[in-house]
Amino acid sequence: EDQVTQSPEALRLQEGESSSLNCSYTVSGLRGLFWYRQDPGKGPEFLFTLYSAGEEKEKERLKATLTKKESFLHITAPKPEDSATYLCATYGQNFVFGPGTRLSVLP
Amino acid sequence: DSGVTQTPKHLITATGQRVTLRCSPRSGDLSVYWYQQSLDQGLQFLIQYYNGEERAKGNILERFSAQQFPDLHSELNLSSLELGDSALYFCASSVVTGELFFGEGSRLTVL
């Protein structure tokens, strides 16, 4: 059975303090790994798709990387507006979402 | 704006009642997915439709049903509602097995 876990469950950073979120997965025949941002009470917002190990994607202060068993979402010099829950999802036979990492960036 | 439209945004009803949630996918997207998210819980996959046909089923209760119409909009029907059905219900669409684009959700409160 495909599984996706994320760590840490919650992360508090000071503004400007860079860090990384982890997504570990066990998927048969990975066809894509996705990162989403979700604000409270809102729908998840698509950020990145990664297809193969070694691939990297960047958007503003965010960079996503992929290995054969993990993906990382690196946040460089975060701002308070980056506070949200970040979800990782895989697509093999089906979409499987991780539980998310709740990020708080303090001014 | 993801291009996925869900109505209603909020719904308050009583136990035992039935409600219908509606979703219009992005233009050109053939797949529609329904997810449930309870307070502080992860996204739980309910069901997927592709071009009018059921494609995959997740943890969907027998009291719940869905369909996708010829114009590709989808409806999720929830019946014999219980307090525990209170949640955010999200619809998402995708054109191929790629990214999912989510609507803003329908918040259901069962009293």
Q: How is chain B classified by DSSP, letter by letter?
A: --S-EEE-SEEEE-TT--EEEEEEPPTT--EEEEEEE-TT---EEEEEEETTEEEEE-S--TTEEEEE-TTS-EEEEE-S--GGG-EEEEEEEESSSS--EE---EEEEE-
Q: Nearest-CA neighbor of B28 among B6, B49, B3, B48?
A: B3
Residues of A with CB under 8 A from a CB of B: 31-32, 34, 36, 41-46, 49, 87, 89, 91, 94-100
Query: Across residues B56-78, what is the average pLDDT?
Result: 95
End-to-end, the C-alpha distance of chain A in Å comes to: 41
User: Can you name the residues that pair with A90 across neighbouring β-strands?
Assistant: A33, A96
Burial label, B75 (beta-carbon count in 10 A; 0-12, 13-18, 19+): middle
- The predicted pLDDT at position B53 comes to 96
Sign for the pseudo-dihedral over CA of A90, A91, A95, A96: negative
pLDDT tops 70 at residue B96: no
End-to-end, the C-alpha distance of chain B in Å comes to: 31
Of residues A32, A46, A91, nearest to B101 (C-beta): A46
User: Can you name the residues that pair with B93 across neighbouring β-strands?
Assistant: B32, B101
Of residues B42, B97, B104, nearest to A43 (C-beta): B104
Q: Are B55 and B45 in contact (CB under 8 A)?
A: no
Strand B64-68 relative to strand B10-13, pairing: unpaired
pLDDT tens digit at each of 107 positions of chain A: 889 999 999 999 999 999 999 999 999 889 999 999 999 989 999 999 999 999 999 999 999 999 999 999 999 999 999 999 999 999 888 889 999 999 999 99
User: Can you name the residues that pair with A87 across neighbouring β-strands?
Assistant: A36
- The predicted pLDDT at position B97 comes to 54
Q: How confident is the model at residue B98 (pLDDT cuts 50, 70, 90)?
A: confident
Are A32 and B98 an interchain contact pair (Cβ–Cβ within 8 Å)? yes
- The predicted pLDDT at position A52 comes to 93
- The shortest C-alpha distance from A44 to chain B (Å) reads 6
Residues in chain B closer than 8 A to A87 (CB atoms) = 42-43
Q: Which two tokens stand for residue B107?
A: 């918040």
- The predicted pLDDT at position B50 comes to 93
- The predicted pLDDT at position A92 comes to 87
- The shortest C-alpha distance from A31 to chain B (Å) reads 8
